[in-house]
Structure 1
Amino acid sequence: MTDVAPESQTTEGNARPYSVSELAFALKRTLEDAYGFVRLRGELSKVTHHSNGHVYLTIKDERAAIDGVVWKGQVRGLSIRPEHGLEVIVTGKITAYPAGSRYQIVIETMEAAGVGALLAQLERLKAKLAGEGLFEPARKRPLPVMPAVIGVITSPTGAVIRDILHRIRDRWPCRVIVWPVVVQGDAAAAQVCAAIDGFNALDGSGPIARPDVLIVARGGGSVEDLWPFNDEALARTAAASAIPLISAVGHETDTTLIDFVSDRRAPTPTAAAEMATPVLAELKAAVADFSARMHRRAARVVEDRRSRVEAADRSLKRVPDLLRLAEQRFDIVSGRLTAGLARNAAVHERELVRVASRLSPLLLQRPQAVQKQRLDGVAARLQPAVERRLERVSERLAALGKLYASVDPERPLQRGFARVSRLDGSIVHAGASLLSGEELSIKFGDKVTRQAVVDGDPAPAAAPKPARAKPKPTPAAQGDLF
């Protein structure tokens, strides 16, 4: 605490006052010097993954709590994902936040405090991925029946790769491409993800062929050893692989997250090799069995056709007998046919004679006479009506002709009148409306039209005549009674 103490303590009144910043940063340096490396165990709470990549959290136990922060550069290197309620062991240094007068721990590493905590975190992650549908059987793809290239993602050293190669060599001759990765530790998950993405990125046009199926394999181990295969990013990468993937991590009793998202899970790496490849000897035996069955089937078909031909041959030898039998049936039927036709004609003849006695021309003449009589009656009634109708129409037509003649504009011209019109075709109705020098067109009764020009001024309009006053009635003189 030497940084906090005053340089010289004489009397209380003479002590140099510190500023708030000086005291806060002095305390910060003291904490960082005294607790530069701290290993802390507790339960995580108030975990916040900030958008800038930092993680802010609180580590607590039954009686106390301390704030913590994981800077963005350290988040990628954590072996587990910080989650609320997870019991962890962290390492870092204690520092202070001068702006808020709080102390906190800057976390550099983080690991689960026990197997129970790891399994609890795994169950939460499984529930999350299952809710997204990554475990659904419908999205799992079938494995190729006869793969030409198999991609194996595992450690290049150890018994796992030897067992896989040996098993594939015994069962099916194909090409095996090994992508070496570490299968334990913090870097394992990232390397396996890169291997899966790398195999999927191959298009087959280069020197390295694109695998038909992938195998992710690792031997058995503890929960901590197999923990990289419970990584969320690895599970999503395996689920998104376009190449069918077989998970063979651990022994039969070991289960990791990649087992649920892969297309097939193998209990052991050797079993994965058996899933990925058929047995060549079994295929040869199956082909041989199919060939024998085909030959047997063909032989049965040939034998059946031979039997049918022989039966037909035996029947052909009896052709004259068959023809005689048919001729006999034909003779019997033809004899019956002649007699039957004669009987049928006789029956129809008798029927015709019977009906002919009832037939007479009067049957047709009587309806015709009735119809003719009806038509004559209708014609007698219609003729006067038609004549009256024609007479009324003729009278109306004559009246219309007289009306047309009375309104014919050419008729007055025949009586010595003339029609005066202007050059625009309008009729002149009054001389007062004409102007001096205006050109006119005059049409006469012989249909000859002459041009004329108005001369002189128009005559003054005649003054209206005064209304004639009605004479007042004069009283009549009274007559003489005598």
Structure 2
Amino acid sequence: MPADFPSDSQDDSLVAKGRAGDNAAPLSISEISGLLKRTVEERFGYVRLRGELSGVKRAASGHMYCALKDEKAVIDGVMWRGNTQRLAFQPEDGLEVVASGKLTTYPGRSKYQIVIERMELAGEGALLALLEKTRARLAAEGLFDEGRKRALPFLPRTIGVVTSPTGAVIRDILHRLADRFPSRVIVWPVLVQGQGAADQVAGAVRGFSALPEGHSDRPDLVIVARGGGSIEDLWSFNEEAVVRAIAECSIPTISAVGHETDTTLADYAADRRAPTPTAAAEIAVPVRQELAATLADFGARQQRAILRPVQLGRERLEARVQRMPKLEVLLQPQAQRLDDAATRLANGLRDRAARARDRLQSDRARLNAPLLKIRVEQAQQRLTAVSRLMVSLDPDNVVKRGYVRVIGPEGRTVTTHAAAAKEAALTLKFRDGDLAVTTGKAPQAPTAPKPRAKRPAKGTPPAQDDLFG
């Protein structure tokens, strides 16, 4: 045994004492920890470690704590908040990464660890593994279910586009829309690659979705677009924040990220996937010329549909007309009856005229002038006698001689006491006026006068004799 380390048999003291040739004072734990810390940091000031993440957790302060391991060893790691905010992916247990930073010790636990300044996935295989893991987790939540996807509007008036405002993507979309069906386009400019791109894309989608119904800038359709690139270039559209924003968007969405074979998780969450941004514009609106042609075709079909019953009716009518008898055949019996009646009428008129002529000739002798004169004088004498009789019988002429005429309510002359006793009121007609008197008898309801027979109006000719009578 070396002399610097005496045996137990020689070290019988209870209090630490200096040894011969020993000129170093004992080190404290903090001192030795500090020496170890400086030695490690000087020797391993910058390292890159490849390993599998384990025990990943984020503190309330924003710092991330984890462990890197392989088949035989484990090393703790810490990443401060400023560096975690610049991560291009979400660290999870089981991911193989390459961590860059410096080794240091943690005196509080006598452990060494790596302070990670940068973390990257260990190759494209690890990136694809993370992608598949994220896809499976979000699919389990139902974000990619076909049942939740909505139909796109047939003809959106306003289209919102989330993309870079300076790239070829927006120019392609605007050009294609102008060719097919010019529409109002609102561009929400965002980064489509690199640090902060996922947050900007998610914020733009949520911004469009948050616009209230009826707002002038609220689009009817949202297109999330980016040109082609590697899986790393398109990674922002695989971020959970973007996928959830698209899935929760209240407006139908089209994902047009990459070209043809490029597929991102945003494509699964959107209501419709387009292989290219140009294809997204084609899906969004129909072709105006085709719509015009379709409308013209519908109009022609409608016109034919309207005219078809008329044409069929005309054809049926013509067929029935062909089967109907001729007009001459239908009217033949009536025409024959008419001819017979005309013949009978002509014969009857001739017979009636002949009889009238015979009667006139037989009465000619009675119509000579002397005889007519005698008949006129006789009629005049009778008329004169009747006139004198009417004057003598006129009751008013008797009144003029001083008599009184008694008139009932109906204007008739009352000639008996019994008739006068029945009336409640009478009129006495004197030569110089009328006098109304009452008899004291209750009035009786007047009886309606009997209707007089109507006389023929003056100038009305007498009824004509029947020509066939």
Instruction: Return the match for 2:293 from 275, 285, 291.
Output: 285
SS at match of 2:233: helix
Q: Counterpart of 2:303 in structure 1: which amino acid?
A: H
Name the counterpart of 1:60.
69
Q: Output aligned runs, 1:78-477, within 5 Å.
A: 78-203=87-212, 209-306=217-314
How much does 1:13 deviate?
A: 4.0
Q: Counterpart of 2:232 in structure 1: which amino acid?
A: E
Distance in structure 2 (CA, Å) of the matches to 1:74 and 1:12: 51
How much does 1:50 deviate?
A: 4.8
Distance in structure 2 (CA, Å) of the matches to 1:51 and 1:128: 24
How much does 1:235 deviate?
A: 0.8
Distance in structure 2 (CA, Å) of the matches to 1:51 and 1:158: 39
Q: Counterpart of 1:254 in structure 2: which amino acid?
A: D
Q: Counterpart of 1:217 in structure 2: which amino acid?
A: A
Deviations 1:408-435 (A, max 9, x none): xxxxxxxxxxxxxxxxxxxxxxxxxxxx
Distance in structure 1 (CA, Å) of the matches to 2:203 and 2:65: 29
Distance in structure 2 (CA, Å) of the matches to 1:239 and 1:25: 52
Task: From the superposition, tell whether residues 251 and 314 of structure 1 become closer, same or farther in structure 2 (CA, over 3 Å).
Answer: same
SS at match of 2:203: helix
SS at match of 1:77: coil
How much does 1:211 deviate?
A: 0.9
How much does 1:35 deviate?
A: 3.8
Distance in structure 2 (CA, Å) of the matches to 1:25 and 1:240: 53
Greater alpha carbon shift after TM alignment, 195-204 vs 256-265 = 195-204
SS at match of 1:179: strand
Contact 1:156 1:180 in 2 (8 A): yes
How much does 1:36 deviate?
A: 4.1
Distance in structure 2 (CA, Å) of the matches to 1:174 and 1:80: 37
Contact 1:55 1:72 in 2 (8 A): yes
Task: From the superposition, tell whether residues 296 and 205 of structure 1 become closer, same or farther in structure 2 (CA, over 3 Å).
Answer: closer
Q: Does 1:28 align with 2:37?
A: yes
Distance in structure 2 (CA, Å) of the matches to 1:22 and 1:205: 71
Q: Counterpart of 1:227 in structure 2: which amino acid?
A: W
Deviations 1:33-87 (A, max 9, x none): 5444333222222333456644322112344321112234433321122222222
Q: What TM-score comes out, normalization by structure 2 length? A: 0.61
Distance in structure 2 (CA, Å) of the matches to 1:168 and 1:191: 25
Q: Counterpart of 1:269 in structure 2: which amino acid?
A: P
Distance in structure 1 (CA, Å) of the matches to 2:274 and 2:21: 78
How much does 1:21 deviate?
A: 2.2
Name the counterpart of 1:74.
83
Name the counterpart of 2:46.
37
Contact 1:80 1:110 in 2 (8 A): no
How much does 1:219 deviate?
A: 1.2
Name the counterpart of 1:478.
none
Q: Counterpart of 1:278 in structure 2: which amino acid?
A: P
Distance in structure 1 (CA, Å) of the matches to 2:297 and 2:191: 45
Instruction: Return the match for 1:19 from 6, 10, 28.
Output: 28
Distance in structure 2 (CA, Å) of the matches to 1:11 and 1:104: 39
How much does 1:12 deviate?
A: 5.7
Q: Counterpart of 1:223 in structure 2: which amino acid?
A: I
Distance in structure 2 (CA, Å) of the matches to 1:241 and 1:12: 80
Q: Counterpart of 1:68 in structure 2: which amino acid?
A: G
Task: From the superposition, tell whether residues 304 and 80 of structure 1 become closer, same or farther in structure 2 (CA, over 3 Å).
Answer: same
SS at match of 2:92: coil
Q: What TM-score comes out, normalization by structure 1 length? A: 0.60
Q: How many residues align?
A: 312
Distance in structure 1 (CA, Å) of the matches to 2:251 and 2:196: 23
Distance in structure 2 (CA, Å) of the matches to 1:140 and 1:11: 86
Percent pairwise identity: 59
Name the counterpart of 1:408.
none
Distance in structure 1 (CA, Å) of the matches to 2:199 and 2:44: 33
Distance in structure 1 (CA, Å) of the matches to 2:278 and 2:208: 21
How much does 1:314 deviate?
A: 9.0
Q: Counterpart of 1:16 in structure 2: which amino acid?
A: A
Q: Counterpart of 1:100 in structure 2: which amino acid?
A: R
How much does 1:189 deviate?
A: 0.9
How much is the aligned-residue C-alpha RMSD, in angstroms?
2.8
Distance in structure 1 (CA, Å) of the matches to 2:61 and 2:320: 93
Task: From the superposition, tell whether residues 285 and 88 of structure 1 become closer, same or farther in structure 2 (CA, over 3 Å).
Answer: same
Name stretches of at least 5 consecutive residues in structure 2 with no aligned partner: 1-17, 331-469
Greater alpha carbon shift after TM alignment, 66-75 vs 80-89 = 66-75
How much does 1:205 deviate?
A: 6.0
Task: From the superposition, tell whether residues 10 and 251 of structure 1 become closer, same or farther in structure 2 (CA, over 3 Å).
Answer: farther
Q: Output aligned runs, 1:45-56, within 5 Å.
A: 45-50=54-59, 53-56=62-65
Deviations 1:161-207 (A, max 9, x none): 1111110000011101111112111221111111101111222666x
Distance in structure 1 (CA, Å) of the matches to 2:19 and 2:177: 88
Deviations 1:321-376 (A, max 9, x none): 9xxxxxxxxxxxxxxxxxxxxxxxxxxxxxxxxxxxxxxxxxxxxxxxxxxxxxxx
Name stretches of at least 5 consecutive residues in structure 1 with no aligned partner: 1-8, 322-482
Deviations 1:228-256 (A, max 9, x none): 11111111111111111111111111111
Distance in structure 1 (CA, Å) of the matches to 2:183 and 2:106: 62
Q: Counterpart of 1:276 in structure 2: which amino acid?
A: A
Contact 1:147 1:276 in 2 (8 A): yes
Contact 1:40 1:90 in 2 (8 A): yes
Deviations 1:444-479 (A, max 9, x none): xxxxxxxxxxxxxxxxxxxxxxxxxxxxxxxxxxxx
